[in-house]
Amino acid sequence: MSRLYDFYARDLLTPKQAAEYAEVSESTIRQWVHRGLLEAALPSQGRGIPALYNRPDLDEVKRILAEREAARAA
């Protein structure tokens, strides 16, 4: 996962934005976090302030999952 100084503000996405970007549901984003595939770039700061996810981290998770699926199909 990325380090804090690797972030660009345009790459930080709310859970809803992350789900739209990755073309999955918000519950899938939560599952990825729970399974350790995705880590919040900036954790939730309490009530009403969501965690933020880094766009390149989402790309990496999708790449990993695609590789796993391809390996299963082979």
> How far apart (Å, rounded) are the C-alpha atoms in residues 14 and 48?
12
Are 32 and 61 in contact, with CB atoms under 8 Å apart? yes
Q: Which residues of the chain have pLDDT under 50?
A: none
Angle at 49 between CA 16 and CA 30, to 5 degrees: 45
Instruction: List pLDDT tens digits, range 6-21.
Output: 667 788 999 999 999 9
Buried b (16+ CB within 10 A) or exposed e, 22-57: bebeeeebeebbeeebbebbeeeeeeeebbbbbbeb
pTM beyond 0.85, yes or no: no
